Structure 1
């Protein structure tokens, strides 16, 4: 009888997987920090942003500041979990990045360039975390995350 070798760590099976995880964590950290800065700007001085009258989604800019501040703080915390390799952080990273994308879209007329940057960073986070999750599905032979 031969003993089966222990399962190799994820990074050993797919050398790029560790890089994608770090990429997702860094991008989520950057998006979170940008969202925090945006939130502080909205709370401290809501006259920093241009208020449009004919936008379908009109909200108080101070309220949007709080939304961005909270989303940014959660994104930074989840990115720390991604660096630790936590499974909850991968799922949470996709959810938080999706909320950052939605918040960025809804506040697009107030700061278009900043919103597009946040949407792009968050889209890259979703991509990176889903690519890694898809590899887990293929490797484990079943649906869902292990």
Structure 2
């Protein structure tokens, strides 16, 4: 019987890394969103000579939705679903945008999440074909 072997490099582990980072980011988004919805606070941030008011309750719901999407897509990515790689790029990009808007309220946390999201995007885009060979 003729069998064709595929050579898979260690770079396939980056997809697992991306999935696990997405999963943990989704859990943190979900938890912080639940807290923000329950807190009913308004964030007040001074930007230069202007004051920025951010409704934390509304952004809590955004974080809950994005967190749930991150968890769902991360689980599918780890399971080896081919479509999940493209969905992960979209959801991680969406997470980066929400963290950018939330930057005035939680600057250090948002910067860390944006940096991790950039690494996840790199792993998904550059090494995504390796994951398809494993599946």
Contact 2:46 2:52 in 1 (8 A): no
Give unpaired runs (5+ residues) of structure 2.
none
Does the residue aligned with 2:76 lie in a helix, a strand or coil?
helix
Greater RCO (CA < 8 Å, at least 6 residues apart): 2
Unpaired runs of at least 5, structure 1: 140-146
Q: CA deviation at 1:76?
A: 0.4
Aligned length, in residue pairs: 130
2:44 matched residue in structure 1: 51
Aligned match of 1:35 in 13, 29, 46?
29
What is the alpha-carbon distance in structure 2 between the residues aligned to residue 74 and residue 82 of structure 1?
A: 12
* Structure with a larger share of its residues in strand: 2
TM-score normalized with structure 1 length: 0.77
TM-score (norm 2): 0.82
What whole-Å deviation, never above 9, does each CA across 1:68-114 have from its counterpart, x for those lacking one? 11000110010000111111111111111000000000110011122
Alpha-carbon RMSD: 2.5
